[in-house]
Amino acid sequence: MKIAIINGPNLNLLGTREPDLYGSQTFEQYLVSLERQYPNVNFSYFQSNIEGELVGELQRVGFDHDGIVLNPAAYTHTSVAIGDAIAAIRTPVIEVHISNVHAREEFRRISHVSAKCKGTIAGLGLRGYELAVVFFLNAD
Q: Is 48 in the site for ligand DQA (CB under 6 A)?
A: no
Of 22, 30, 75, 129, catalytic? 22
Identity of the residue, 47 or 71, whose beta carbon is nearer to ligand DQA in the bound complex: 71
Q: Which is nearer to ligand DQA, 1 or 13 (CB)?
A: 13
Q: At what angle do helices 51-61 and 80-88 cross, to 10 degrees?
A: 10
2/26 with CB nearer ligand DQA: 26
Could you say which of 34, 61, 70, 73 contacts ligand DQA (CB under 6 A)? 73
Among 54, 98, 132, 133, binds ligand DQA (CB under 6 A): 98
Q: Is 44 in the site for ligand DQA (CB under 6 A)?
A: no
- Figure out which of the listed residues 99, 112, 120, 126 binds ligand DQA, where binding follows CB under 6 A: 99
The catalytic residue positions are 22, 97
